[in-house]
Amino acid sequence: MNIKKKVLVTGGAGFIGSHVVRLFVRKYPDYEIHNLDALTYAGNLENLTDIENEPNYRFIKGDITDQPFIQELFEVHRFDAVIHLAAESHVDRSITDPLAFVKTNVIGTMILLNAFKSCWEDSFEKKRFYHISTDEVYGTLGHTGLFTEKTSYNPNSPYSASKASSDHFVRAYGETYGLPYVISNCSNNYGQNQFPEKLIPLFINNIIHNKPLPVYGDGNYTRDWLYVKDHAIAIDTVFHKGVIGETYNIGGFNEWKNIDLVKLLCQQMDEKLNREKGSSEALITFVKDRPGHDLRYAIDASKIKNELGWKPSVTFEEGLGKTIDWYLNNESWLSNVTSGTYKSYYKKQYG
């Protein structure tokens, strides 16, 4: 097989990264997909057992903040393209340990940019650095309006500030050095393999174990939810068709208030677990709010839809059903990731 492209995916053992790696390994047998991941608490090679022996797939354990290691990795492999997902990704953790977010999300991104630049600066032709970002960089919306690619950055949490900073550096490398980048900013993802610190998998796990469902504040916060496999398809689309120097917003056209989403989840869980109607809802407990909690995120995804032809394929009810089924059928995955350090995180966060 003639190798057409060497692609480095960072953070490929994480939630979204593992779906991207699988899609690329299967869809592009003539690409060599290198998955670089430090395997933090959020990285899990169990997410990729079905493709780990594919001839076009390689796993590299390594840290994007290790500058000499990253520099050498690029010198040895000379990757044609990078899809950069590695990050500290959980807002609550960024509130307790902001520096870890600066280190990975800002410094780590800088180190990758420098390595990519020094590899190709003689000619960036046919090269591409694709930076995966979040809608949280835009800050919060009021009760109306949508984030467009022109909305100014106004991050409110250490996580979103670190992602905003990394976006700025990527753009600055484009302007200053001509580095060929593309960025996408996506809304909240859900689906299989998401670590149970985020709302949906945390609540699924708690319902299974009849534990309280800690809704922050009054629950009247709104997020725009996208099924993770649709995000992976969007990333494939932007990677191949996105215009260099452009940003694309990706969203589900699917806004939910947390409390309404949690009630829908409870209903579906009761049905699937054959529990009495209302028994999961009885677990809802309103707890102290998240500091700096953004009221509402909602994405205008018309640019990627109209210019690149992508739109979500899965309805929320369908995607949520598939997600619940996956967690119920993969209880060993869930118990593996919730043993050990997860317990001390949970105690610290929720008491």
Residues 6+ apart with CB under 8 A from 269: 204, 207, 275, 280, 324
Distance CA 337, CA 205 (A): 11
Specify whether 136 is catalytic: yes
Distance of closest approach, residue 283 Cβ to ligand DAU, in angstroms: 12
Q: Based on CB atoms, which residue is closest to ligand NAD, 14 or 242?
A: 14
Catalytic site residue from 80, 136, 167, 230: 136
Altogether, the residues listed in the chain come to a count of 351
- The answer to whether residues 129 and 82 touch, using CB atoms and an 8 Å cutoff, is yes
The Cα-based distances of 220 to 32, 111, 201, 256, 305 in angstroms read 45, 39, 19, 9, 29
Q: Which of 313, 176, 163 is nearest to 247 (CA)?
A: 163
Tell whether residue 197 is a contact of ligand NAD (CB under 6 A).
no
Distance of closest approach, residue 26 Cβ to ligand DAU, in angstroms: 25
- The answer to whether residues 152 and 185 touch, using CB atoms and an 8 Å cutoff, is no
Q: Based on CB atoms, which residue is closest to ligand DAU, 202 or 204?
A: 202
- The answer to whether residues 62 and 70 touch, using CB atoms and an 8 Å cutoff, is yes
Footprint of ligand DAU (CB under 6 A):
89-91, 134-136, 187-188, 198-199, 202, 214-216, 221, 223, 258, 290, 297
Distance of closest approach, residue 154 Cβ to ligand NAD, in angstroms: 17
Q: Based on CB atoms, which residue is closest to ligand DAU, 31 or 195?
A: 195
Stretch that binds ligand NAD, among 61-69, 71-79, 111-119, 312-320 (CB under 6 A): 61-69
Of residues 101-160, those binding ligand NAD (CB under 6 A): 104, 108, 132, 134
Residue 221 interacts with, from ligand NAD, ligand DAU, none (CB under 5-8 Å by kind):
ligand DAU
Print burial letters for 314-351: b (CB count within 10 Å at least 16), e (below 16).
bebeebbeebbebbeeeeebbeebbeeebeebbeebee
Structure-token match 């120097």, residue found: 245
Q: Based on CB atoms, which residue is closest to ligand NAD, 11 or 174?
A: 11
Specify whether 57 is catalytic: no
Specify whether 159 is catalytic: yes
Distance of closest approach, residue 283 Cβ to ligand NAD, in angstroms: 23
Tell whether residue 297 is a contact of ligand NAD (CB under 6 A).
no
| Binding residue for ligand NAD, selected from 11, 180, 191, 319, defined by CB under 6 A | 11
Print burial letters for 29-60: b (CB count within 10 Å at least 16), e (below 16).
eebbbbbbbbebebbbeebbeebeeeebbebe
Residue 91 interacts with, from ligand NAD, ligand DAU, none (CB under 5-8 Å by kind):
ligand DAU
Distance of closest approach, residue 164 Cβ to ligand DAU, in angstroms: 11
Token digits of residue 297: 């995120």
CB-nearest residue to ligand DAU: 134
- The answer to whether residues 275 and 328 touch, using CB atoms and an 8 Å cutoff, is no
Residue 167 interacts with, from ligand DAU, ligand NAD, none (CB under 5-8 Å by kind):
none
Beta strands 255-257 and 222-227 are antiparallel
**Pseudo-torsion of CA 98, 99, 104, 108, nearest 10°?**
130
Catalytically active residues, by annotation: 135-136, 159
Binding site for ligand NAD (CB under 6 A): 10-11, 13-17, 37-40, 42-43, 63-65, 85-89, 104, 108, 132, 134, 163, 186, 188-189, 195
